[in-house]
Amino acid sequence: MLLQRWSLLILCCFILVSCSDDSDNPAGLRQVLRVNPSSRSVANSNDSTSFDIIASGPWSVSESVDWIWTQPNAGEGSGRFTVHFESHSGDSRSCDITVNAPNHVPETVTTKLIQSANPALKINPPSTSIEDSPNTVYFNVTASGEWEAIEALDWLSVHPVIGEGSGQIAITVDKNEGGARTGVITITAPNHFPTAATISITQAAKPLELSIIPGSRVAEYDSEVSAFSIYAGGAWSVGTMADWIRIDPRNGSGDGYFRVLYSVNDDTERSAEILVQAPGHRPEKITVRFTQQSSPTASPLPPSHLRAKEIYWDEVLLDWDDVSDNEEGFIIERREGLGGIWTEINRLGSGVHQYTDVSLQSQFEYHYRVFGYNTFGRSESSNGIAARTHTPPEDLPVNGLTEGLIDPETDKDWYICQINESGSRTISVTLGELGSASIWVYRAADRSSLRSSSLNGGGVNPEVIESFTPGNYYIKVGPRDEDSVGSYSIEIR
């Protein structure tokens, strides 16, 4: 019995000794490890932030990146550690920070540090090229904070120089009087990514000037050489498609000249185009015209573009182009109808290009052609034309109403109206919905034109004429184009 009591006493003493060896954890339990906060976001700058540790024993801090460091990186019991971090110029980034504490639950806790990216700094477009002339170009700046434009060039200016947030800058460039040049403007924006961006402007060089003197030349028929001066800053070449002239020299550089060589002209006037080219000049090409006069022993060139400019019921006004320089005059020939005989009806002097054939039959077809002539003969014929005279004018009394038809296949309708008093008169032409017409008013005394107008269908088309004086007037109504058809009525009051 006594032995059992001593055994129980020894066991109690052993238990007390064991409890005294775990005084920090009387219950013999493992402590909880906590890190607060579990993650933290920071700005993109050189700065620091802190994390709290809850622990009852030793702990240590570790990280796996080179852009942060912790202080302290070890400790015991609850406390705090500071994370120092660096700014950067890239996208957002993060790292894990590990806290180890043996005999804790858990023994390892990981917290995260997230660092934001810098705001973007962008320039659009980043570069441009312009001509040598004065100019203003615009660029868009994308930013979220303050920025500044830096330039140190005397041939351009920037506005505005400073700004905040996104916006636009204008760069004004002076005229370039020299070679090609490039200017760089730097846009700086702290706390942005990147912190600086550049704008590049390339301005073309002042072009070399090209000029030819004279710009054209007319040579005598018996001359054999003519010269043109070239003013250029660089290389040039000369060419022509004409086979009757020769160019010498055909190539050169800088100021100089070229000669045009040819033979005596024993025929009609002849012309050639000479092309001078100088790449990189302004202009790069110049065409000069060289003409050699016709031989005085040559007959003239034929007139061109003969046409009936005006046709009446008793007259035809002819018109043509004089393209020769050695005619003494023109011969007018006419025939009546297709089967008639060509007959000379008149001769005109040099330089004349119109003729009025009078005293003709109405509603009759006449054919015409024109020749140039001189001492050595006459030219080939001009183009031939046919002209059909109109129906004589009908009386159109003041305040009277007359009706007619518009048809491109028939003659135009002529009217004669006697005006007894000076002042204004209104000529009204009424057309159907689909009709269209033209109207002409002439003074009968000299057949000079007083008014011409185009009229549309669908109602009355009044024409007010202020300058009537006493006398007779011709009024002509006809189709406006080949699609003009329909009826009309005309009244003057």
Q: Which CATH number fits domain 31-115: 1.20.1560.10, 3.40.50.300, 2.60.40.10, 1.10.645.10?
A: 2.60.40.10
**Distance between CA atoms of 262 and 242, rounded to whole angstroms?**
11
**Distance between CA atoms of 239 and 165, rounded to whole angstroms?**
59
Is the model's pLDDT at 442 over the cut of 90? no
Q: What is the pLDDT of residues 46-80, one digit of tens each?
A: 889 999 999 999 999 999 899 999 999 999 999 99
Q: Which CATH number fits domain 304-388: 3.40.47.10, 3.30.565.10, 1.10.1060.10, 2.60.40.10?
A: 2.60.40.10
Strand pairing report for 413-419 and 181-188: unpaired
CATH code, residues 122-203: 2.60.40.10
Is the model's pLDDT at 140 over the cut of 80? yes
Which residues of the chain does CATH 2.60.120.380 include?
394-492
Q: Say which range, 15-29, 160-174, 292-306, 410-424, has the weakest mean pLDDT.
A: 15-29
223-235 CB burial, b ≥16 within 10 A, e <16: eeebebebbbbee
Which residues of the chain does CATH 2.60.40.10 include?
31-115, 122-203, 210-292, 304-388
Mean pLDDT, to the nearest integer, of 239-247?
94
At 355, is the pLDDT very low, low, confident or very high (cuts 50, 70, 90)? very high
Is the model's pLDDT at 8 over the cut of 60? no
Mean pLDDT, to the nearest integer, of 306-331?
92
Mean pLDDT, to the nearest integer, of 86-111?
89
CATH code, residues 210-292: 2.60.40.10
For residues 258 and 248, the answer to whether their CB atoms sit within 8 Å is: yes
**Distance between CA atoms of 382 and 300, rounded to whole angstroms?**
12
417-427 CB burial, b ≥16 within 10 A, e <16: bebeeeeebeb
Q: What is the pLDDT of residues 367-425, one digit of tens each?
A: 999 999 988 888 999 999 999 998 888 888 888 778 777 776 666 788 788 888 777 77
For residues 180 and 225, the answer to whether their CB atoms sit within 8 Å is: no
Q: Which fold has domain 394-492?
A: Jelly Rolls (2.60.120)
